Amino acid sequence: MSTKNRKPMSKKRKNLLEMIGIYTVIGIMFVIILYPLLWTLGVSFNPGRGLYGAQIIPDNWSLAHYEWLFFDPRSNYLTWYKNTLIVALSVSALATFTVGLTAYAFSRYRFKGRKNGLYAFLLLQMFPVLMAMVALYILLNTVGLLDSLVGLIIIYIGGAIPMNAFLVKGYFDTLPRELDESAKIDGAGHFRIFFQILLPLAKPILAVVALFNFMAPFMDFILPRIVLRSPENFTLALGLFNFVNDEFANTFTRFAAGAILIAVPIALVYLFLQRYLISGLASGATKG
Amino acid sequence: MATKNSHDRDNNIVNPKHNPTVAALLSIIPGLGQAYNKRYGKGAALFILFAAFVIAMIDFITTGLQGLVTLGEVPREDDSRVFLSNGILSLIFTAFFLTFYILNIQDAFKDAKRIQLGWKVPNIREGFKNAWDTGFPYLLVGPGLFLLMFVVVFPLLFMVFLAFTNYNLYNAPPRHLLEWVGFENFINLFTINEWRNTFINVLSWTLIWTFVATTLQIALAMFLAILVNDPRVKFKKLIRTVFILPWAVPAFVTIIIFSAIFNDNFGAINLQIIEPLFNTRIPWLQDPFWTRVALILIQVWLGFPFVYALFTGVLQGISSDWYEAADIDGANRWQKFRNITFPHLMFATAPLLIMQYSFNFNNFNIIYLFNQGGPAVRGQTAGGSDILISWIYGLTFENQQFNMAAAISIILGLLVATFAFFQFRRSRSFKEEGTF
């Protein structure tokens, strides 16, 4: 605007004012972001069980809720942790493997139905699995996999395929084809090209896929809610959700304690790997 | 093409007696055409596979298809849902069978044509190797496809079929039999006042929600990214870490926490901010309008970090030459933003931003966890903050109106598919534009 007419002094002042403005905005954002998180941490140390009267800085600190989660005989927390780990590990391993195979086929081979397959994947990844819940419920019921972790694992893997196959296919496409062609000339078979040449090169994206699929069972509560019935089969997210869902104001502090225990490790993983996760997501989406 | 073919026919036919049409006709019994082509091993393998499939599946498929038509005949004994799912499975198997059957005929025809042109039939070993080479991609896709069929495609088909039945709380198997009702559910959705009003309200809120929440989260992310990218700002790494926190913490945890913080009676927002300032309390969970406001605020909180991280990455990649040139031309900040920063950001991230919109369109978690779609609204079957997907969930698992839920799902599916189609065309056009 009219900066030219002003004296240098006012330019310096303008600079200062701007910096104050920027830091104020950042400060406000800090408060808005950190308040709910710190509040949860504070609440988890409250001795009372209810939301009412829970304080962000408790008068008398207490680890009672954490102790309850781990040591009380009525608490299933450790079982839930174990269930979630079982589900997360199997989904992560099996989904990454299946997705790798599928993406390899779509990236490297020109076969009948390839194009339609790609369209189908593109379309299917837009549909939320939730839309088909009734059918899944009935299907699992008929094959006897309702209320079992196996049923949950199978659904997670199936649901993960379309989206992740796209992600990995996009990555495979960026790897030069000359590599596998020269290997083919040297007499390497299909599987050898896949396992010894492409897989090692695709490690970064496969790691991202594995990690996402590992994390999903920790954060999803709705699918377990439909599939799992008995508390000893619950996953963490579902179990915690039930703390607040059953009797809302009663066990909120217990929920807070349990939530902190899963939020902290997950948040740490995300923060450490943020660059890979975000660039992985970004490249998959733009190249797909 | 045509001239080339006739050319071939005139000059190069080596085995004029070998007739492709005969081969194709013979392979109406799979394998026979291949045998006519003197590929005995392949023929035998095909024949055995097809025979095995037919012998094993014929019973299941015929009863399945019959059941799909009748949906059971004896109430309390026949479970229509089982009939329906077996019927759909039969359809899928039949589709597979027909595909392979047609491929088998095509294969016999093609081979015969090649033999006619003097192609030498490979021996069994070579044939096996060829089959391995062409079949390999299918082997790779196989397991994924199989899972996809049963976990995604089959349930979606089931849903589609349910929309044309009368499956609800009062007419639920196994006590009652289901019946096909044609388009009745769709007609009801648009003619019965209660349903129509609910549908219009929910759909308009879904669209408003998608648009406002997503746009706000992108706008906030852009504002903060540009602000923090200012070279004079220090502690960039710390700021980035804190700004990304809402993305790193599992959303289901934070949403539940927010629903406690927004609690009308003992939530921190009412007690510590609104009451001291305005001497009143806002009914965040009781009033549809305020629930919607709260939902949008929370989604902005949850959703901006990812976009922020994307934008920061792009901003760091914009060459400073652009801005120096703009400075020389005497451009002010707004002009620089408008003509340099904004186009760069949009071009690099457009597909991802579109994905944010489609994510929020079906963002079930936040709606359900915050207030379970509520508060309840008089005279409609959905709560005040229900979006389509959470309405479907409520109809299914709380009201057991399976038929209506399925009908609405189909409408939702059509919306999603249209959107996907346009997005696909867009992303293709992006590709063709090449590099920036």
* Interface confidence (ipTM) of the complex: 0.85
Secondary structure, 3-state, B244-264 = HHHHHCCHHHHHHHHHHHCCC
Contacts of B369 in chain A (CB under 8 A): 241
**A150–chain B Cβ distance below 8 A for any pair:** no
* Ranges of each domain in chain A: 3-64, 76-246
CATH classification number, A76-246, choose in 3.40.1190.20, 3.40.50.620, 1.10.3720.10, 3.40.50.10800: 1.10.3720.10
3-state secondary structure (DSSP) of residue B341: helix
Highest mean pLDDT, choosing among A273-287, B93-107, B296-310, B403-417 = B296-310
Greatest pairwise CA separation for chain A in angstroms: 82
State pLDDT tens for residues B147-205. Answer: 888 888 888 888 889 889 888 888 877 778 888 888 999 999 999 988 999 999 999 99
Per-residue confidence (pLDDT) for residue A2, from 0 to 100: 45
**Residue B260, Cα to own-chain centre: how many angstroms?**
32
State pLDDT tens for residues B223-257. Answer: 999 999 888 888 888 999 999 999 889 888 999 99
In chain B, whose CA is at the least distance from the CA of A288? B427
In chain B, whose CA is at the least distance from the CA of A128? B362
Per-residue confidence (pLDDT) for residue B242, from 0 to 100: 92
**A241–B245 CB contact, under 8 Å:** no
Residue to test with chain B: of A35, A131, A222, most B Cβ within 10 A? A131
Please determine, for residue B7, whether its predicted confidence score (pLDDT) is greater than 90.
no
Contacts of B313 in chain A (CB under 8 A): 278-279, 282
| Six token digits for residue A218 | 């920790």
Per-residue confidence (pLDDT) for residue B209, from 0 to 100: 95
Secondary structure, 3-state, chain A = CCHHHCCHHHHHHHHHHHHHHHHHHHHHHHHHHHHHHHHHHHHHCCCCCCCCCCCCCCCCCCCHHHHHHHHCCCCCHHHHHHHHHHHHHHHHHHHHHHHHHHHHHHHHCCCCCHHHHHHHHHHHCCCCHHHHHHHHHHHHHHCCCCCCHHHHHHHHHHHHHHHHHHHHHHHHHHCCHHHHHHHHHCCCCHHHHHHHHHHHHCHHHHHHHHHHHHHHHHHCCHHHHHHCCCHHHCCHHHHHHHHHHHCCCCCHHHHHHHHHHHHHHHHHHHHHHHHHHHHHHHHHHHHC
Assign domain B185-433 to its CATH architecture: Orthogonal Bundle (1.10)
Which residues of chain A carry a pLDDT beneath 70?
A: 1-9, 50-54, 246-250, 280-288
Residues paired with residue B180 on neighbouring β-strands, in sequence order: B165
Mean pLDDT over each residue of chain B, to the nearest integer: 84
* Ranges of each domain in chain B: 2-162, 185-433
User: Over the range B62-81, which residues count as b (16 or more CB within 10 Å of their CB) and which as e?
Assistant: eebeebbeebbeeeeebbbb
Please determine, for residue B215, whether its predicted confidence score (pLDDT) is greater than 90.
yes
- What angle, 0 to 180 degrees and rounded to 10, lies between the N-to-C axes of helices A236-246 and A203-219? 30
Compute the nearest-CA separation of B384 from chain A (Å).
Answer: 19
| Six token digits for residue B336 | 């620089």
User: Phi and psi for B273 in degrees, rounded to 5?
Assistant: -115, -60
From the list B232, B239, B309, the residue facing A19 with the nearest CB is: B232
d(CA B12, CA B30): 29
Kindly give the residue spans of alpha helices, DSSP state H, lying in B166-261.
Answer: 184-191, 193-229, 236-248, 251-261
Per-residue confidence (pLDDT) for residue A53, from 0 to 100: 66
Highest mean pLDDT, choosing among A210-219, B301-310, B318-327 = B301-310
* Strand blocks (E) in B284-347: none
CA dihedral B97, B100, B102, B104 (to 10 degrees): -130
State pLDDT tens for residues A109-135. Answer: 888 888 888 888 877 877 777 777 777
Per-residue confidence (pLDDT) for residue B213, from 0 to 100: 95
Higher pLDDT, residue B342 or B132: B342
Per-residue confidence (pLDDT) for residue B3, from 0 to 100: 45
**A131–B389 CB contact, under 8 Å:** yes
CB B152 within 8 A of CB A127: yes
